């Protein structure tokens, strides 16, 4: 076992050796080196990340056209604006607590997918890696399509959605290749332009918006089903950040209070998400009685609605639409950047492949998926949100149960064993809980191509209650399985 540990351990270079080993261009451009290795206290004393970056990073990521699109989905389910607003507010108040908590994991010096080894085990964590890779690639593609739909609407359909997705994915790739220092520099300010866009759109489009019910309002169990499905959509969007929130705080000074990181992250996610999703829900109300708005939405999705709202601003409105489309870039940075970190957890062989290579691999995968998904955007979006949400519920449930029930806080971890199979559980408990969690999802999920037997009982078209059943199934069995694993395995 000692030989195996030594084989997995990666030799560390001191700062002087590292600087000499880096190509000249890397030093001049401050391109990030290394990968998922734990960032030590000594390393965090040089060029540390400021705690307010935990807020500005998420302001930029969520002040995006994809967030606007998520908000509009309540209207497509038949919900009125005020129903949508209440769901947006209540669900975000609760769900945003989860990525805010996982953001504090970064103070350990470990990325989120690596930290998961302490609950999922060294080998069981491969499930975390694979699903995190799928999730980040899927979000990269979907968010790019949201931005590309704006460019499509602006060009009256002359600029294809797939072409816009390529432009956005390429821009994201450049920034992610440069690394974390450049990401935090840009995200300090890049949230401001889209904020201006949303404020102007709210003003110029206000005359066409309404808080009235649809001509044929939902009632009874049908309305309950729509609300539950919309809640699942809003929840999935927020908790998708759970899998990567820690990755951007690993260079925080080690004495940074956890409550500061938690608070900054919560504010950075909650404020822009609620504001922009609410605007998305409001813009969709323009389709209720205005056929021009309805046609624009059917032709170019959220881009069509934004075009209608900004039309009174003339040429300035067209400029703002370009800024809105570009808001997909910071929205996608967490996906492309963290994809590389997820992938390096596949094993020692993956760690030896440079981070930039994995960033490029994720970029290519996102382009391929984005170009294919553009044709079936609405169904793809709702299906992806649901599946990612189910997986993320299992991820955060098992990590928090391990932390509070078995580790009893941060003192219960040996962070030097992050890359040692002998110092980590195998992961049988997590694998079993994972299977039970997806059993719950299968019973309660509601997507375009499938409705679970329990979800079908609510309303005519069914309700998405997969998250609740996923949490119940995985949350109940994991403590039992984990106790057995610790009793017989010792870790």
pLDDT at 3 over 70: no
**pLDDT value for 377:** 57
CATH of the domain at 291: 1.10.4160.10
Question: Is 296 or 138 the better-scoring residue by pLDDT?
Answer: 296
Any domain includes 6: no
Rg (C-alpha) for the chain, rounded Å, is 22
The tokens 């401001």 sit on which residue? 192
d(C-alpha 84, C-alpha 86), whole Å: 6
**Structure confidence by residue, pLDDT tens digits, 400-435:** 999 999 999 999 999 999 999 889 999 999 999 999
Any domain includes 55: yes
**Structure confidence by residue, pLDDT tens digits, 172-188:** 999 998 888 889 899 99
**pLDDT value for 294:** 92
Any domain includes 488: no
Residue 447 phi, psi (nearest 5): -130, 180
d(C-alpha 429, C-alpha 485), whole Å: 6
**pLDDT value for 16:** 39
**Mapped to the 3 state alphabet, what secondary structure does the chain carry?**
CHHHHHHHCCCCCCHHHHHHHCCHHHHHHCCCCCCCCCCCCCHHHCCCCCCCHHHHHHHHHHCCHHHHHHHHHHHHCCCCHHHHHHHHHHHHHHHCHHHHHHHHHHHHCCCHHHHCHHHHCCCCHHHHHHHHHHHHHHHHHHHHHHHHHHHHHHCCCCCCHHHHHHHHHHHHHHHHHHCHHHHHHHHCCCCHHHHHHHHHHHHHCHHHCCCCCCCCCCCHHHHHHHHHHHHHHHHHHHHHHHHCHHHHCCCCCCCCCHHHHHHHHHHHHHHHHHHHHHHHHHHHCHHHHCHHHHHHHHHHHHHHHHHHHHHHHHHHHHHHHHHHHHCHHHHHHHHHHHHHHHHHHHCHHHHCCCHHHHHHHHHHHHHHHHHHHHHHHHHHHHHHHHHHHHHHHHHHHHHHHHHHHHHCCHHHCCHHHCCCHHHCCCCHHHHHHHHHHHHHHHHHCEECCEECCCHHHCCCCCCCCHHHHHHHHHHHHHHHHHHHHHHHHCC
In 3D, which of 426, 428, 358 has the Cα closest to residue 36? 358
Which residues fall within 8 angstroms of residue 463, CB to CB, at 6 or more apart? 224, 225, 226, 228, 229, 446, 455
Q: What is the mean pLDDT of the chain?
A: 87
pLDDT at 248 over 50: yes
Angle at 325 between CA 320 and CA 326, to 5 degrees: 95
For residues 130 and 433, the answer to whether their CB atoms sit within 8 Å is: no
Distances (CA, A) of 172 to 263, 334, 373, 399: 27, 9, 19, 30
Helix 258-284 and helix 65-76, axial crossing angle in degrees, nearest 10: 50
d(C-alpha 429, C-alpha 426), whole Å: 8
Any domain includes 449: no
**pLDDT value for 386:** 66
d(C-alpha 136, C-alpha 144), whole Å: 12
d(C-alpha 54, C-alpha 50), whole Å: 8
Question: What number is the average pLDDT over the span 208-231?
Answer: 84
Any domain includes 433: no
d(C-alpha 62, C-alpha 85), whole Å: 17
Distances (CA, A) of 147 to 271, 328, 336, 417: 21, 5, 16, 42
**Structure confidence by residue, pLDDT tens digits, 36-77:** 999 988 888 777 778 888 999 999 999 999 999 999 999 999
**133 is in which domain, residue-wise?**
49-376
Question: Is 288 or 435 the better-scoring residue by pLDDT?
Answer: 435
pLDDT at 381 over 70: no
d(C-alpha 280, C-alpha 85), whole Å: 10
**Structure confidence by residue, pLDDT tens digits, 257-275:** 999 999 999 999 999 999 9
Any domain includes 153: yes
Any domain includes 287: yes
pLDDT at 443 over 60: yes
Domain count, the chain: 1
In 3D, which of 112, 156, 176 has the Cα closest to residue 337? 176
**pLDDT value for 380:** 58
**pLDDT value for 387:** 72
**pLDDT value for 384:** 65
pLDDT at 4 over 90: no
**Structure confidence by residue, pLDDT tens digits, 133-170:** 988 888 888 888 888 889 988 998 889 888 898 999 99
In 3D, which of 366, 299, 335 has the Cα closest to residue 162? 366
Distances (CA, A) of 309 to 79, 123, 361: 20, 51, 37
d(C-alpha 106, C-alpha 120), whole Å: 18
d(C-alpha 194, C-alpha 39), whole Å: 33
**pLDDT value for 30:** 64
**pLDDT value for 8:** 40
**Structure confidence by residue, pLDDT tens digits, 319-347:** 999 999 999 999 999 999 999 999 999 99
**pLDDT value for 379:** 59
For residues 148 and 331, the answer to whether their CB atoms sit within 8 Å is: no
**pLDDT value for 385:** 61
Any domain includes 444: no
d(C-alpha 442, C-alpha 449), whole Å: 12
């Amino acid at each position: 076992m000692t030989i195996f540990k030594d084989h997995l351990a990666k030799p560390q270079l001191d700062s002087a050796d590292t600087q000499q080993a880096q190509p000249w261009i890397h030093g001049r451009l401050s391109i990030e080196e290394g990968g998922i290795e734990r960032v030590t206290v000594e390393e965090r004393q040089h060029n540390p990340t400021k705690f307010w970056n935990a807020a500005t990073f998420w302001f930029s990521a969520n002040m995006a056209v994809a967030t606007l699109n998520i908000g509009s989905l309540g209207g497509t389910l038949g919900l009125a604006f005020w129903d949508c607003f209440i769901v947006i507010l209540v669900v975000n108040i609760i769900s945003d607590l989860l990525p805010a908590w996982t953001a504090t994991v970064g103070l350990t010096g470990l990325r989120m997918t690596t930290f998961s080894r302490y609950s999922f085990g060294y080998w069981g964590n491969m499930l975390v890696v694979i699903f995190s890779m799928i999730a980040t690639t899927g979000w990269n593609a979907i968010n790019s399509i949201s931005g590309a739909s704006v460019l499509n609407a602006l060009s009256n359909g002359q600029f294809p959605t797939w072409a816009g997705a390529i432009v956005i994915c390429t821009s994201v790739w450049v920034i992610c290749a440069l690394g974390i220092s450049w990401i935090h520099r840009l995200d300090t300010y890049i949230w401001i332009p889209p904020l201006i866009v949303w404020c102007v759109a709210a003003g110029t489009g206000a005359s066409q918006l309404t808080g009235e019910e649809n001509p044929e309002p939902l009632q009874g169990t049908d309305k309950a089903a729509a609300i539950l499905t919309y809640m699942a959509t809003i929840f999935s969007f927020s908790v998708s950040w759970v899998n990567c929130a820690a990755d951007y705080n690993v260079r925080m000074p080690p004495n940074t209070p956890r409550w500061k990181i938690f608070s900054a992250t919560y504010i950075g996610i909650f404020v822009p998400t609620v504001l922009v999703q609410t605007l998305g829900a409001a813009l969709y109300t323009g389709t209720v009685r205005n056929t021009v708005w309805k046609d624009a939405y059917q032709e170019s999705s959220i881009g069509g609605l934004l075009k209608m709202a900004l039309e009174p601003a003339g040429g300035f409105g067209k400029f703002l639409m370009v800024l809105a489309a570009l808001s997909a870039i910071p929205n996608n940075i967490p996906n492309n950047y963290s994809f590389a970190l997820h992938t390096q957890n596949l094993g020692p062989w993956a760690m030896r492949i440079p981070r930039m290579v994995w960033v490029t691999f994720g970029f290519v995968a996102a382009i391929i998926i984005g170009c294919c998904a553009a044709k079936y955007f609405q169904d793809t979006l709702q299906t992806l949100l649901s599946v990612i949400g189910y997986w993320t519920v299992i991820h955060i449930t098992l990590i928090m149960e391990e932390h509070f029930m078995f580790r009893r806080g941060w003192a219960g971890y040996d962070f030097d064993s992050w890359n040692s199979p002998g110092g980590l559980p195998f992961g049988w408990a997590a694998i079993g809980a994972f299977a039970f969690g997806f059993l719950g999802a299968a019973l309660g999920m509601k997507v375009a191509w499938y409705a679970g037997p329990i979800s079908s009982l609510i309303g005519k078209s069914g309700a998405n209650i997969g998250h609740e059943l996923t949490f119940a199934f995985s949350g109940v069995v994991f403590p039992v399985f984990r106790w057995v694993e610790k009793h017989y395995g010792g870790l």
